[in-house]
Amino acid sequence: MPFYTDAAVLPDLWLQGSGGKSANMPLNAISTKTIATSKTIYAILIPTQADVVYSGVRLCIGTVGTAPTGFFVGLATAAAVGAKGNMLVQSSNLSASTGLTTAGEQQFPFSSTYLETGSGVNQRMVVVLEDCTNGATAITPQKAASGVDGTTVQPNSYPNCALCGTNQTALPANGAQLPANYSLGSSLCYYVELY
């Protein structure tokens, strides 16, 4: 199973040569695309390392969309299925980013950097929200190969991938709770990377 478990060395091996600092799976594990649902907050489990500064999120865009009303990425605390996470850092509205209209691995910066203050290897959730109320065609991020899905959880009950809010037009403020508990889904295993 390509998802990060507790082996801190794996994300380092996966990222050799990419310039990234953490990933939820090897880039070569992705094989399919799933369109993002407008106004839905997706959360993807990812390891972070204490005393490392993170500047943003990379997504692998499989099929491009058109400029949406809103597009946001962020980092939140991890929690078990049925519990809520809290926002740690987020981007401004990135709807004008060329990364949304260009296929391939694209960078989406946070509004400010985030210094991981925990100890050792920690688990966080990358959160992604796209608002297509202007009629834009949603992006289709790359996801894991068949057999790795968002219905699985880690031994600590953290979901690999989850939903945590629908009908949203922006992410909550830093420090605030996400609008809904983490809930499992079957097609949410997007490849994410922190840089």
- pLDDT, tens digit, for every residue of 33-47? 777 788 989 888 888
Structure tokens that stand for 60 in this block = 């692998």
Q: Which amino acid is at 109?
A: P
* pLDDT score of 53: 94
**Length in residues, the chain:** 195
Give just the sign of the alpha carbon dihedral 45, 49, 51, 54.
negative
* pLDDT score of 70: 93
* pLDDT score of 149: 52
pLDDT tens for 168-194 read 999 999 999 999 988 886 555 778 889
Q: Give the residues of the chain that fall short of pLDDT 50.
A: 1-10, 13, 146-147
193 neighbors 57 (Cβ within 8 angstroms): yes
- Close Cβ partners of 13 (under 8 Å, ≥ 6 residues apart): none
Full-model pTM = 0.85
Percent of the chain with pLDDT over 90: 33
Give CA–CA dist 2/146, Å, rounded.
Answer: 11
Q: Domain ranges for the chain, please list them.
A: 9-194
Q: What is the dihedral of CA 95, 177, 76, 80, to 10 degrees?
A: -130
* pLDDT score of 179: 94
